[in-house]
């Protein structure tokens, strides 16, 4: 039985879960893997803070440098979050020859290219299963299990908080503020849920999935990212009547050798399996040219699921310490040209407007769309619903997102259009 020294940076929900579950399942992990893991140092901001998971007080430190000053620490587990200190620690750990295990999605999405270039230079692996979808083994699957496939698309519900809110809006008829308040009260959302509901948590995960599927790191500034704060009970109602559910969907795909990445509220057919993924659960649908369609489903966050992925990476790291390989967690390649900027992506849309209830309004709006070469596939003008005055719902045929935005700016300048428009994606997922 070999013992591997671990340095743990961060002791929040996930970090505490890693420590707790390494201790709880020490014998099970050892029997299955042949390794015992010894947490030798834990870096936190406040070593004196009371915690619900107890660890020996002598393990705690405020300096991440302490992890690199212990020669017995062979693997550094970075669970601090953020992109400043976490980056400094990751770089220093790689330069010192230590394997890094991280769950930091923002760090990888924003600085993954630099980190893995350094990992290759120093021949030190970086593992990151916990960065996407909690305990769902999607990273290993894309990197290893599907290595013989050209990935055609990856679509996923990647944020449990936003999915819980949309589920409650659909099932209980709540509007967004009410469903958000409930999510915060139940602990499914942070007191400041901004990253969850504005789409960026899911976007960071989508960028990581795109890198694994297509071999390069997409610039986050080129990705369309929209949150769920514009979704109303009226939109849920209209979508249902049209045969759709609204989900915050991360979309990654390749068309004509250019990779498209985006995250936005999206209407998906009620018949599609992703439409039935409710509550705090995540799901990711992968389409490969050989394997066809595969679905990954499970809890996308939380102490148990996410620590499961970290512990799996620790075992993988231990095996590599014994038998080094020529892979470092991510392999770049040039099989695909680049990513397509969001304004150039062609899609279908759901557009809801509030308009004056008088003749000729629809004709004026349709005229502007027609001038832009944008087709309307269907029109719904139901009676008013509480909170929405004289709604007009248009299902838009395929159009470039940039052209759609330009035309929408002209539409909302019409005197017959009131308030702010709502524009969501529509995906057939066939």
What HEC string does the chain produce?
Answer: CEEEEEEEECCCHHHHHHHHHHHHCHHHHHHHHCEEEEEEEEECCCCCCCCCCCCCHHHEECCCHHHHCCCCEEEEEECCCCCCHHHHHHHHHHHCCCEEEECCHHHHHHHHHHHHHHHHHHCCCEECHHHCCCCCCHHHHHHHHCCCCCEEEEEEECCHHHHHHHHHHHHHCCCHHHHHHHHHHCCCCCCCCHHHHCCHHHHHHHHHHHHHHHCCCCCHHHCEECCCCCCCHHHHHHHHHCCEEEEEEEEEEEECCEEEEEEEEEEEECCCHHHHCCCCEEEEEEEECCCEEEEEEEECCCHHHHHHHHHHHHHHHHHHHHCCCCCCCCCCCCCCCEECCHHHCEEEEEEEEEECCCCCHHHHHHHHHHHCCCCEEEEECCCCECCECCEEEEEEEEEEHHHHHHHHHHHHCCCCEEEEEEEEEECCCC
Choice among 50, 62, 205, 403 that is catalytic: 205
- In angstroms, the Cα distances linking 323 to 93, 249, 327, 366 are 20, 39, 12, 65
Residue 401 to residue 407: CA distance in whole angstroms: 10
Do the Cβ atoms of 204 and 159 come closer than 8 Å?
no
What HEC string does 285-332 produce?
Answer: EEEECCCEEEEEEEECCCHHHHHHHHHHHHHHHHHHHHCCCCCCCCCC
**Beta partners for residue 252, in sequence order:** 154, 261
Residue 223 to residue 3: CA distance in whole angstroms: 43
Q: Is 247 a catalytic residue?
A: no
> Tokens representing 377?
């596939």
Compute the radius of gyration of the chain from its Cα atoms: 24
Show which residues are catalytic. Answer: 205
């Amino acid at each position: 039985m070999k013992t591997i020294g671990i340095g743990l940076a961060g002791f929040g929900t996930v970090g505490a879960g890693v420590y707790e579950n390494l201790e709880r399942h020490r014998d099970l992990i050892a029997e299955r893997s042949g390794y015992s893991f010894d947490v030798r140092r834990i870096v936190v901001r406040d070593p004196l803070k009371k915690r619900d998971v107890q660890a020996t007080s002598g393990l705690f430190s405020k300096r991440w440098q302490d992890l690199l000053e212990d020669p017995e620490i062979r693997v550094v587990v970075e669970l601090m979050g953020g992109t400043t200190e976490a980056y400094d620690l990751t770089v220093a750990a790689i330069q010192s020859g230590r394997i890094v295990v991280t769950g930091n999605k923002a760090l990888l999405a924003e600085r993954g290219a630099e980190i893995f270039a350094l990992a290759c230079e120093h021949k030190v692996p970086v593992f990151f299963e916990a960065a996407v979808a909690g305990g769902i083994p999607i990273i290993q699957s894309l990197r290893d299990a599907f290595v013989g496939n050209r990935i055609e698309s990856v679509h996923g519900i990647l944020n449990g908080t936003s999915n819980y809110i949309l589920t409650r809006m659909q099932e209980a008829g709540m509007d967004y503020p009410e469903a958000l308040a409930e999510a915060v009260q139940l602990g499914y959302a942070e007191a400041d849920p901004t990253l969850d509901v504005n789409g960026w948590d899911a976007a960071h995960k989508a960028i990581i999935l795109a890198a694994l599927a297509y071999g390069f790191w997409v610039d986050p500034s080129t990705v369309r990212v929209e949150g769920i704060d514009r979704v109303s009970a009226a939109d849920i109602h209209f979508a249902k009547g049209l045969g759709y559910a609204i989900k915050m969907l991360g979309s990654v795909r390749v068309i004509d050798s250019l990779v498209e990445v985006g995250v936005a509220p999206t209407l998906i057919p009620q018949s599609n399996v992703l439409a039935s993924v409710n509550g705090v659960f995540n799901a990711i649908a992968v389409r490969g040219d050989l394997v066809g369609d595969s679905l990954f489903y499970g809890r996308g966050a939380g102490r148990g699921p996410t620590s499961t992925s970290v512990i799996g990476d620790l075992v993988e790291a231990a095996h590599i310490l014994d038998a080094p390989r020529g892979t470092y967690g991510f392999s770049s390649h040039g099989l695909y040209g680049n990513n397509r900027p969001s304004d150039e992506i062609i899609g279908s849309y759901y557009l809801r407007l509030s308009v004056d209830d008088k003749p000729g309004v629809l004709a004026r709006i349709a005229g502007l769309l027609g001038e832009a070469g944008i087709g309307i596939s269907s029109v719904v003008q139901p009676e008013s619903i509480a909170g929405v005055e004289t709604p007009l719902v248009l299902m838009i045929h395929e159009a470039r997102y940039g052209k759609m935005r330009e035309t929408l700016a002209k539409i909302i300048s019409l005197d017959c259009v009131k308030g702010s428009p709502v524009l969501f994606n529509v995906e057939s997922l066939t």
